[in-house]
Amino acid sequence: MDADSRTRAVIEEHWRASERGDTDAERAIYAKDAILDYPQSGERFQGRAAISAQRGAHPADRTFTVQRITGHGSLWVSECLITYDGVPSHSVSIMEFADDRVVHETQYFADPFGVPAWRAALAEPMPGASPVPDAGVWQIADRPASGPSITASSRPGELSCPRPQRPPAGRGERSWRGGR
């Protein structure tokens, strides 16, 4: 088995251990002085013991579904769907390895969101994806929830969508950024 196959197997076991709630097996991937960063909250956990304590003390009932693992050498990325008490959250975990252990992990989390009306006709569902229930439609300020019209372009088989106009400064900023 080559080095990348071994690393992939270690990462897969890490996520299986997370799913089982086996904190000893889950923490085995980390170097003693590993760092775990959560950029969205600004938290940094230093050392395998702190990482393990933080994960082991989590109060929610969690499930982990690995959607993809990709990487090579010392840099690996896992995309997961983690549910906390039944509420889904997408996670991207970036793991940096040295001497067969994670020395630095950065983990990002994102809640699912509904499809904005202005681009609904331009997209198709991702394989295996399901609609987000009750997510609503992200609106652009001063525009109805139905969004702009989607029309056929001058080329057969293509669609066009008028580019939304940015709201004036200070008005509707959340709605504008919320268009993701």
Residues ≥6 apart with Cβ < 8 Å to 122: 150, 159, 161
pLDDT of residue 58: 82
Region of 37 on the Ramachandran plot (φ > 0 left; ψ -120 to 50 alpha; else beta): beta
Question: What's the fold here for domain 3-110?
Answer: Nuclear Transport Factor 2; Chain: A, (3.10.450)
Residue 77 has a pLDDT of 98
Residue-level pLDDT at 12: 96
Which two structure tokens, joined as six digits, stand for 166? Answer: 């940015």
| pLDDT score recorded for residue 1 | 87
Residue 132: the pLDDT is 60
Every domain of the chain and the residues it spans: 3-110, 114-180
Cα 46 to Cα 29: distance, rounded to the nearest angstrom: 14
Q: What is the pLDDT of residue 140?
A: 37
Token output for 91: 């996670």
Q: Is the pTM of this model over 0.85?
A: no
Position 59 scores a pLDDT of 84
At residue 135, the pLDDT reads 52
pLDDT in tens, the chain (180 residues): 899 999 999 999 999 999 898 989 999 999 999 999 999 999 999 999 999 998 888 888 889 899 999 999 999 999 999 999 999 999 999 999 999 999 999 999 998 888 888 888 898 888 877 666 555 444 333 334 444 444 444 445 444 444 444 445 554 433 333 333
